[in-house]
Structure 1
Amino acid sequence: MLELNLGDIVLLRKKHPCGGDSWKVVRLGSDVGLLCETCHHRTMLDRLVLERRIYEIRPSQSDGVDSVSST
């Protein structure tokens, strides 16, 4: 089972009809919610199907710390 986190970018083997191949992970569970980085289309894929289609995983850039300004 692949280690996926919210905000990760996954590259899939087949391109989306809009031409994009990078998707942002927006929901985790037995189904994974994805958001196309090109056209912002949302879709859900079964985790096992997604694991077969993933070409590359790019971890999210967030450091896990909430930034709250104290003024």
Structure 2
Amino acid sequence: MYDLNDVVEMKKPHACQTNRWQIIRMGADIKIKCLACGHIVMMPRREFQKKMKKILVKASEQ
């Protein structure tokens, strides 16, 4: 399961051609930030769970 500050990979890459996102807010909605260009996207938790591919780095391991 994902947690705050985890780095995740989404199914589709961002427009800047990278696919590393950091979870910066969790609740009913989840806010993620692109680690390459800094773009922030907010989406409902259900949509996030559908679009997330895998967890790359757990926050507890950093």
Partner of 1:56: 54
Find the aligned partners of 1:13 and 1:7 in 2 and give their Cα distance. 19
Which is richer in strand?
A: 2
Find the aligned partners of 2:12 and 2:4 in 1 and give their Cα distance. 22
Structure 1, unaligned runs of 5 or more: 63-71
Shift of 1:4: 2.4
- Please report the RMSD computed on the Cα atoms of aligned residues, expressed in angstroms: 1.1
Larger displacement relative to structure 2 (3-12 or 20-29): 3-12
Percent of aligned pairs with the same residue? 27
Structure 2, unaligned runs of 5 or more: none
Find the aligned partners of 2:2 and 2:29 in 1 and give their Cα distance. 12
Question: Which structure is richer in relative contact order (CA contacts within 8 A, separation 6 or more)?
Answer: 2
The answer on 1:7 being equivalent to 2:5 is yes
Question: Which runs of structure 1 show a deviation greater than 2 angstroms over 4 or more consecutive aligned residues?
Answer: none
Q: Which of these two proteins has the greater Rg computed from alpha carbons?
A: 1
Which is richer in helix?
A: 2
Paired residues in the alignment total: 60
Partner of 1:31: 29
